[in-house]
Amino acid sequence: MWIDELLQSINYKDYYPQGKNTGSNQIITNCKFHEDTHASLSINLNTGVYFCHACSASGNFVTWCKYFNIDLKELAEKQGISITKEKHDKIISKEQVKEMHQALLDNKAWVTALDDNRGINLQTIKRFNLGIYKNRLSIPIYNLDNQVVNIRLYASKGVNARLKMISWGSGYGSARLFPIENIYSEEIMICEGEMDACWQIKWVTVQLPAQPEQILLKRNGVIFLRTRKLILFMILMQEVRQVPKK
């Protein structure tokens, strides 16, 4: 993958702000994600992973570039890395994502309920461009080219468990890692679904849709994940089934 090659070839020092050295290639500097006067942003210059001790902004070099509109492909070209064509995806317009996102931002009741019931706060809603579509929470799924290739639609109650999470339409539901940019982190936490992967915690999360072995063995997943430390996160539940009386 060209992006793996890019991340191995660049010096993070050239792209991250200067800061005070705190040891083992770790710096601390003023945070760019909030108005910071106390140098709250820690950056690991070996891995490119950053974390703000004040506003909890966190991510890696890919999320950084996405946030500050740095074109990774341009960087790769500058480094002389050839960008191979990837499989063609069906694309959903970003305008639609924007409209759904605005609908959620305008709906204070939903914003409050998401925070209270799921721990998904406003920062998370903005980070993932979450929205509302037909009374479901919409979660746009991006590919490595930052195109929207699916919108997962979540309904919390009132629906059949099998239909709790549905895809945008036919041809959009193939197995995807979410959020895709997190695959470049050293530590990856694998969890059950997009809703869990949305949690804003220091760990990064990659959602593996149903049949994780499919993505791990048959797709590029094995290339992405084999060099990473994986943490498996699962909620174990005892399913209570009623045995029908004969």
List, in order, residues 6 or more apart from 92 with CB less than 8 Å away: 140, 148, 149, 150, 151, 168, 172
Least distance from Zn ion to the Cβ atom of residue 188, Å: 23
Is the Cβ–Cβ distance between 233 and 205 less than 8 Å?
A: yes
| 52 is a contact residue toward Zn ion (CB under 5 A) | yes
Among the listed ranges 19-27, 29-37, 97-105, 183-191, the one in contact with Zn ion (CB under 5 A) is 29-37
Is the Cβ–Cβ distance between 131 and 103 less than 8 Å?
A: yes
Least distance from Zn ion to the Cβ atom of residue 56, Å: 7
Q: Which of 3, 1, 12 has its CA nearest to residue 49? A: 12
| 33 is a contact residue toward Zn ion (CB under 5 A) | yes
Q: Quick one: 204 or 225, whose CB is closer to Zn ion?
A: 204
Residue 55 corresponds to which amino acid?
C
| 28 is a contact residue toward Zn ion (CB under 5 A) | no
Kindly identify the residues of this chain, within the stretch 148-177, that bind Zn ion according to CB under 5 A. none
Least distance from Zn ion to the Cβ atom of residue 32, Å: 8
Least distance from Zn ion to the Cβ atom of residue 64, Å: 13
For residues 228 and 189, what is the distance between their CA atoms, to the nearest angstrom? 10
Q: For strands 50-52 and 41-44, give the pairing.
A: antiparallel
How many chain residues bind Zn ion (CB under 5 A)? 7
Q: Quick one: 38 or 229, whose CB is closer to Zn ion?
A: 38
| 38 is a contact residue toward Zn ion (CB under 5 A) | no
Candidates 31, 49, 151, 204; binder of Zn ion (CB under 5 A) is 31
| 7 is a contact residue toward Zn ion (CB under 5 A) | no
Least distance from Zn ion to the Cβ atom of residue 38, Å: 10
Q: Quick one: 28 or 55, whose CB is closer to Zn ion?
A: 55
Candidates 34, 126, 218, 229; binder of Zn ion (CB under 5 A) is 34
Distances (CA, A) of 163 to 25, 50, 97, 153, 211: 47, 37, 21, 9, 17
Q: Quick one: 54 or 83, whose CB is closer to Zn ion?
A: 54
Is the Cβ–Cβ distance between 42 and 25 less than 8 Å?
A: no
Q: Quick one: 33 or 142, whose CB is closer to Zn ion?
A: 33
- Long-range CB contacts (< 8 A, 24+ apart) of 207-210? 207/176, 207/177, 207/178, 207/179, 208/175, 208/177, 209/175, 209/176, 210/175
For residues 140 and 149, what is the distance between their CA atoms, to the nearest angstrom? 8
The pair of structure tokens assigned to 17 is 């702000």
Candidates 1, 55, 122, 159; binder of Zn ion (CB under 5 A) is 55
Give the residues lining the site for Zn ion (CB under 5 A): 31, 33-34, 52, 54-55, 57
